[in-house]
Structure 1
Amino acid sequence: MKKTGLGVLALAGALMLAGCGASNTGGGTTTGGGEPAGGGQETAAASAWSECKPGQHAEDASGLPEDGDKNVTLGAFNGWDESFATTHLLKAVLEQEGYTVDIQAFEAAPAFTGTARGDIDVITDVWMPVTHPQYIDQFGDDLVHLGCWYDNAKLTIAVNDSSPAKSIADLATMKDEYGGRLYGIEPGAGLTKTTREKAIPTYKLEDWEFVVSSTPAMLAQVDRATKGNENVAVTLWRPHWAYSAYPMRDLEDPEGAMGGAEIISSAGNKEFAEKSPKAAQIVKNLALGDDELAELEDYMMSPQQQDGKNHDAAVAQWLEKHPDFAEKLVKGELG
């Protein structure tokens, strides 16, 4: 039943996308510049998912009875780097614990649909309170909150670490230092819209050239500036592997024009939480900081590393550098 259900989720997802107006293509607070799916309206049903700190639901799973069913299906969101990073990281650790793990990739809408109806056991990319509240409102009764693992997901304007600006406000008087150009991503991205409609007028950057093209083009400018020891200003978001691959830092946003940070949680279907409590607890134990997540995504996605071609090899490489991580995850010692 699970495999059959996974096969028809693409059609269900198309219908969901049309009904919710949701999209994760073209830029926003998500990886790869994915458009935030929510309308920014958090309801009472969704608020519980926003009141979480990484590690708060952690417990030692090493002594729990073995699960009778050791088959686990994880859902990853197409285009969201942290979704693939966390699912493949969990896959590696769960396989060390004797589980058989299958990762399936979907758009966000069918992934929520499939998890709620039991075709997918776990998704790890529930953004709250802005991006995904409508899905929690719709499917919350059929989902189990499996803890939050990251609490600094946000839109940013970033510069090379050695450059002079400390705040977005500084850019107004430092046009020459950065060549008068702010490099953005896709024209339809939520990040692009926020920058154009809020950050630029708030910080009086109208005389700057806002270069809007694509995420790869923006990253190419970061790479060029890094190699040439030049200053660069770009729109970026956390989590992103560029923070590990390049010496980049966020500019302070004293007016809050780019918006606040979101929390990323994992969600499971109710049957999974009941039939596989040890695996569910291992998922709850996940917690990652900025540097860890950026480094993991760097290994997986950057052209200098695996370039998105072998996620399992990238995770193995990362775990080799962090030999205690898997044991700490199982024991609930990461938070």
Structure 2
Amino acid sequence: MRSTLRRTTTVLAGITALSLGLAACGGGGTDAGGDSDDGAGTGDDLDTVTIGIPAGWDEGVAVSYLWKAVLENNGYTVEVEDADIGVVFTSVAGGGYDLMFDAWLPVTHEDLVAEYGEQLEDLGSWYEGAALTIAVNEDSPAQSIADLASMSDEYGNRLVGIDAGAGLTRITQEEVIPTYELEGMEFVISSTAAMLAELQGATDSGDNIAVTLWRPHWAYDAYPIRDLEDPEATLGDSEEIHTFGRLGFGEDFPQFAGWLENFTLTDEQLASLENLMLNENGGTDNDASAQQWLEDNPDFVESVTGA
């Protein structure tokens, strides 16, 4: 979600990922002869790490480049590649990528974990409270999604959504709108970029607005917004975001795996990282953005590496 968030997978994922897995020779940390590379500063780890990034999932993009910076600063060689979420899962399972940082559990990626879980190592949860939301400008009157039915005029009788194919859009149509009787509001299905443009325009001009959103997202750092309560739990329970590695990851990267055990981000940390990288810097130089964030947050590296 964000640049474009789609909680969907593709039929071609398995075929593409199989090709990636075969081409990868069983993981990014071995040479053509199958011998491990020993790099300075990497301890007993292989020195090359390949990270699969789910395309359009901003938290995954931000965290992947954050770890790329941390690892490169410690002597590793890091390769990143973005692909559809289904391709990333199947490629990690097949050894094409060493790891990925954006597995939502227990619901969003339940089917993928059920299918590939025996071929994956769960390297831990780094974020708690991931959730789908309906957000409004913080000084607007509604406190609950239920309030929108009687206060729709305050919001121009519009609920601004994202892509037609996004899971959030489907849930809003099938669960949120009928449960809270919001049929009188126009549900604007557009794109993530269009929704964010409307959100910025409304908050800049002081107008009320209601949008479909999710946590984590940089918009919470960039704009004065808050979530509406969802008393009927139409948007589902909160989830955790996990890191998954290929089988054998812990053996090949014992030092890195240990760092991942210490890895967590707060709402504020992740929002500021995403906002800097993908909003303020427009996603044009994610490596530089990650280094800048590390400079601005000097305690982070010590919290995960102990150094």
State TM-score, norm by structure 2.
0.85
Partner of 1:43: none
Identify which of 322, 327, 334 aligns with 2:297: 322
1:32 correspondence with 2:4: yes
Q: 3-state DSSP class of the match of 2:304? A: helix
The equivalent position to 1:93 in structure 2, one of 53, 61, 70, is 70
Partner-residue secondary structure (3-state), 1:126: strand
Aligned length: 277
* Matches of 1:72 and 1:164, distance apart in 2: 49
Secondary structure at the counterpart of residue 174 of structure 1: helix
**Distance in 2 (alpha carbons) for counterparts of 1:273 and 1:313:** 29
Letter in 1 for 2:143: K
Letter in 2 for 1:269: R
2:258 aligned to 252, 275, 281, which one?
Answer: 281
Instruction: Indicate yes or no: 2:244 matched with 1:267.
Output: yes
Q: 1:147 aligns with which of 124, 133, 138?
A: 124
Aligned-partner SS, 2:81: strand
Alignment of 1:109-124 (within 5 A): 109-124=86-101
The answer for the alignment partner of 1:313 in structure 2 is: 288
Q: Which amino acid aligns with 1:314?
A: S
- 1:47-126 matches, within 5 Å, as 66-126=43-103
Task: Write the distance in 2 (CA, Å) between the matches of 1:109 and 1:208.
Answer: 34
Mean Cα displacement is larger for which, 94-103 or 158-167?
A: 94-103
Say whether 1:290 aligns with 2:262: no
Write out per-residue CA displacement over residues 205-225 of structure 1, whole angstroms, 9 at most, x where no aligned residue: 111111111111111111111
| Consecutive aligned runs of 4 or more in structure 1 exceeding 6 Å deviation | none
**Structure 2 CA distance for aligned equivalents of residues 326 and 165 of structure 1:** 40
Are the aligned partners of 1:37 and 1:131 in contact in 2 as well (CA < 8 Å)?
A: no
Which string of whole-angstrom CA distances, capped at 9 and with x for unpartnered residues, describes residues 268-305 of structure 1? 11232102100111123211121211111111111xx1
State the partner residue of 1:41. Answer: none
Comparing 223-232 with 171-180, which one deviates more in the overlay? 171-180
Question: What is the aligned counterpart of 2:231 among 238, 242, 254?
Answer: 254
Q: 1:294 to 1:68 in 2, by over 3 A?
A: closer
> Which of 167, 175, 196 pairs up with 1:198?
175
Over residues 236-279 of structure 1, what are the superposed CA-to-partner deviations in whole Å (9 max), with x where a residue is unaligned?
11111111111111101000011111111001112321021001
Q: Which amino acid aligns with 2:303?
A: K
Amino acid at match of 2:284: K
Cα offset for 1:310? 1.1
Offset, 1:74 = 1.1
Please give the alpha-carbon distance, in whole angstroms, between the structure 1 residues aligned to 2:60 and 2:90.
16
Distance 1:32 1:283 in 2: 27
Structure 2: 5+ residue runs without aligned partners? 11-40
Flag structure 1 segments of 5+ consecutive residues without an equivalent.
Answer: 1-26, 39-63
User: Tell me, what secondary structure is at the counterpart of 1:119?
Assistant: coil
Which residue identity is paired with 2:159?
L
Residue 173 (structure 1) aligns with: 150
Letter of the 2:287 counterpart? D
SS at match of 1:207: coil
| Equivalent AA in structure 2 for residue 78 of structure 1 | A
Q: In the alignment, what sits opposite 1:209?
A: 186
Identity across matched positions, percent:
49
The one-letter amino acid paired with 2:231 is P
Name the SS for the 1:72 alignment partner. Answer: strand
The reply on whether 1:157 has 2:137 as its aligned counterpart is: no
Write the letter of the residue equivalent to 2:6: G
The two structures, once aligned, show a CA RMSD in angstroms of 2.0
Letter of the 1:180 counterpart: N
Checking the alignment, whether the CA contact within 8 Å between 1:285 and 1:329 is kept in structure 2 is: yes
**CA deviations over 1:144-179 (Å, ceiling 9, x no partner):** 110001122211100011111111111122122211
